Structure 1
Amino acid sequence: MSTGFDRISRVKISSITLPLPTAISDAKVLTGRQRPMTEVAMLFAEISTDDGAEGIGFSYSKRAGGPGQFAHAREIAPVLLGEDPSDIGKIWDKLVWAGASVGRSGLAIQAIAAFDVALWDLKAKRADLPLGKLLGAHRDSVRCYNTSGGFLHAPIEEVVERAASSVRDGIGGIKLKVGHPDGAADLARVSAVREKLDDSVPLMVDANQQWDRTAARRMCRALEPLELVWIEEPLDAYDSAGHHALASTFDTPIATGEMLASTAEHAELIRLGGADVVQPDAPRIGGISRFLKVMALAEQQHLQLAPHFAMEIHVHLAAAYPHEPWVEHFEWLDPLFNEHLEISDGRMHLSARPGLGVTLSDQARAWTVAEHEVTG
C-alpha cells in the first residue's frame, strides 16, 4: 500500500455502447475487409480517493473488442485500490504486470488506458488546471480538421457540402477518405472538394491502409499537384519501410500511426523514418503516460504531430507539443458528455475547466451495457 498523501478507495468501470447516426464506411469496407461501423464501444473508468478527489478516463474500440477491454479492466481494477493516485507511473507498471501474460500492447493496454487517463484527469483537477496546462501547454488552442464528413459511404455531393459547412462552422481543415478500387474515383472526389473550397483551406486524405506499394506510389504521384497537408496510411500500418520510401520520394508528407498499439511500435516507426506526421492515439497505446513518451520521440526527430480521434483527450496533449500540431475533430462522442469543445477560426480551444473538462451525460449512463465497481 502507498504511503502517499491520498489513496484510491473506489474504482468504477462502465461499458457504454455509443450508436452512430449513420453506418460508416471507409476503404476497408469497400474491399470487404470489414463491415460498416454502426457503433463505438466505450470503456469508462471513474476513480475516487479518500480525500474526495475524482477522475474520469476512457478508452474505446471500434467494431470488435469492447467486451474484451471491459473484461480485462474488471480483472485488474483491484490493483488500483490503496495506491496514491499521484504515482501514475508506478500504477501503470503495476497494472501492466497484473496482466503480463497477455502482453504490453493491444487490448491489454487499451484497458489500462482508461485508468491512466482518469488518473491524469484527477491530478489536473487536484491542481485546478486544465490537463493541457498541467502538462505545460505551448498554446491555448490547436489547429483542427474534420474527418467525419468525408467517409466513402457518402455521395460526393454530400461530402462537398459537409466540407463547406464544416469550414463555415470554424473547422480549420478537411480530411477525405480515399481508397476506392478505382483510383480515378478518389481523384475525382478530392478534386471536387478542392474546387468547392478556397485554396487556402488545408486538405488531407486518408487511404486507411488500402494500397500496396505500387498503387501507393502511383496515387501519391497523382495527388502531388493538389498540395495536400498529408496522405494518411497509404500502406499497411506496419509497413514502416514502405512508408519511409514514400516519405523520401514525395513532397506531400506521409502520415501514419493511428493503428499502432504500443509505444514500442511507434518508436520503431519513428526510428525507420516511416512518417512525416505521427498520429498516436492515447487510448490505443495505453493512455496519456505512454502518449507522452511517443510525443518526446516525435519531438526529438522534429516530426509533425496529429493525434487520432478522441479529441477530448488529444486537444490537451497536442497543446503541450512544441511544434504546431493538428487535432482530429469528430462529433461522434458529443452525446457522451455534458460539455463540448469550442471551435472557431480553424482551431480547437482548451477550456478553462480543470482536468479533461468533461463529465458523463445522462444519455451516456443510459447507454451503459455493463458496469463494475471495486472499493477498499
Structure 2
Amino acid sequence: MKITQVEVSLYDLMPERPRHDAIQAFVKQETILVDITTADGLTGTGYAYTIGTGGRAILELLRHNLIPLLIGEDARQIEAIWQKLFWFTHGTAVGPITSLALAAVDTALWDLRGKALGQPLWLLAGGAQRQVPLYDTEGGWLQLSTEELVEGARQSRAQGWPGVKIKVGKPDPSEDLERLQAVREAVGPRMHLMIDANQSMTYAEAKRRARLFESVDVYWFEEPLPAEDISGHRLLAQSTSIPIAVGESLYSASHFREYLATGAAGIVQADVARVGGITPWLKIAHLAESFNVKIAPHFLMELHVSLAAAVPNALYVEHIPQLRMVTHSQIEVVDGNAVAPSEPGIGIDWDRKAMEALRVMI
C-alpha cells in the first residue's frame, strides 16, 4: 500500500448554536482534512480541528513539512509513519499545532487501513463493546439561562441519555450553584450531572466551589485549573469527593502519565485530534486502564464513538454535534448509547459538495 498522493484542505464550519464557556466562545471550527491515496487506488480521509485560530498554521505545516515525507511510504506502517513525522517536527513538539497536524495524517491512515481490511475502526482498534453511553454538553453552555439549562437537561433525560454537562465559572459561585441545583431538581438524583470550568479557576477557588457543588452530587469536575497545573489538580483531587476530569488540553501521552502517576486525574478526556491521532489516543486509553481510570473523550463524537467502543475502560462519549452540515450520516443513538458505525474505516461519510462551499482558499 504505497502512498502515491496526499491532499490537504481547510474548511470553516460554523457552530450549530452559540457556545460560550468561562474563558472563550466557540467562534468556528477550522477543519483540516487530509486525503491519502495509495497505489491500490484506496483513499483514507483524516481530520483535525481548531475552535477558531491556528488552522492555517496547521495547513502550512502539513503542506511544506509533513506531506513530502509521506510519498512512497507503506500506509500499513502507521506506527512507523507516526514516529517519523513526530521526530521530524520535534522542534515544535509537544504542542497543539504539531499534534493536530499529526492527527489529521494518522486518522487518514487508520481510515485507509479499515477500508483495505473491510473493518470498522471500533473493531480494528480493539472491539471492546459496540455501544457507549452518551452525555450532552450542547444544552449546558455558560451563556444559557437557568431555564434553558433545565429544559435542555429534561430533553436529554427524555431521550434516555444518562448524563448532562453544565458549564460553570460565573463570577458569583452562588449563581453556579443555583443553576446546578435547578437542573438537579429537574432531572432527579439518578442522572449524572457533570460540570466544566474550562481551566478558569485557581486551586483555592476550585476547592471552594467544589465543596459547594458536592451538595448536588456532581459526577465529575472538568478542567477546574489550567492544564499545566498538575500539582494543583492533585491537591484538588485530594480535597474533594468529586472526581477530577482532565485531558482535552493535553497534547501527549507523557502528560497523561504525569497526571495519572500523581493521582491528579480521576477521569481522562483525551482528544484524538489534540494528542496527535488515533495511534497515541489508544496508548493513552490503555495507560489509563493500567491505572484503573476511565476515559471519556473530549468532543469529536463522530470519531470518538468508535475509539470509545474499542477500549474496555470507556465511560462516556460527549454529544456536541458539529459535522452534520458536512456529512451524509449522523451518529446513531440507541437507548442513551452512542453506537459505533459498522462501515469500514473511521465511519464518517463526508459530503464533499457541502464542504466545498465552506472551503478556505489559500
Normalised TM-score (structure 2): 0.96
> What is the Cα deviation at residue 170 of structure 1?
3.8
Q: Secondary structure at the match of 2:11?
A: strand
Render the CA deviation track for 1:122-147: whole Å, top value 9, x for unaligned: 11121211101011211110011111
Correspondence 1:92 to 2:82: yes
Instruction: Give 1:98 shift.
Output: 3.2
1:14 aligns with 2:15: no
User: Which residue number corresponds to residue 56 of structure 2?
Assistant: 67
Correspondence for 1:151: 141
- What is the distance in 2 between the residues matched to 1:233 and 1:105? 18
Gaps of at least 5 residues in structure 2 are none
* Residue 22 (structure 2) pairs with residue 27 (structure 1): yes
Q: Give the drift of 1:83.
A: 0.8
Quick one: percent identity of the two aligned structures? 38
Contact 1:106 1:262 in 2 (8 A): no
Q: Which runs of 5+ in 1 are unaligned?
A: 1-5, 30-35, 372-376
1:365 matched to 2:332? The reply is no
Offset, 1:78: 1.6
Matched, 1:295 2:285: yes
> What TM-score, normalized by structure 1, do the two folds share?
0.92
- The RMSD of aligned alpha carbons is 1.4
Partner of 1:374: none
Matches of 2:101 and 2:326 in 1, distance apart? Answer: 19
Which one of the candidate residues 29, 36, 42 is aligned to 2:31?
42
* 1:250 to 2:250 alignment: no
Q: Deviations over 1:306-360 (max 9, x none)?
A: 1101112211111122224211111122212111111121210012111111121
Per the alignment, in what secondary structure is the counterpart of residue 81 of structure 2? helix
CA distance in 2, matches of 1:322, 1:20: 32
Q: Choose 174-183 or 162-171, whichever is displaced more.
A: 162-171
1:226 to 216, 234, 237: 216
Partner of 1:33: none
Q: 1:106 Cα shift?
A: 2.0
C-alpha distance 129-193 of structure 1, shift in aligned 2 (>3 A): same
The question of whether the paired residues in 2 share the 8 Å contact of 1:22 and 1:38 is answered with: no
1:194 matched to 2:184? The reply is: yes
- How far apart are residue 370 of structure 1 and its match? 3.4
Match of 1:24, SS state, is coil
CA distance in 2, matches of 1:305, 1:73: 29
Aligned equivalent of 1:341, options 331, 356, 362: 331
CA-CA distance at 1:53 after TM superposition? 1.6
Q: More deviation in 102-111 or 293-302? A: 102-111
The residue type paired with residue 7 of structure 1 is K
- Structure 2 distance, partners of 1:247, 1:321, is 25
Aligned-partner Cα distance in 2 for 1:113–1:199: 39
User: Aligned equivalents of 1:271 and 1:138: distance in 2?
Assistant: 25
* Rounded Cα–Cα distance in structure 1 between residues aligned with 2:345 and 2:236: 39
Equivalences for residues 314-325 of structure 1 within 5 A:
314-325=304-315
**Contact 2:222–2:245, Cα closer than 8 Å, also in 1:** yes
Aligned length in residues: 360
Amino acid at match of 1:269: Y
The Cα shift of 1:80 comes to 0.9
| CA distance in structure 2 between the aligned counterparts of 1:20 and 1:324, rounded to whole angstroms | 26
Structure 2 residue identity aligned to 1:368:
R
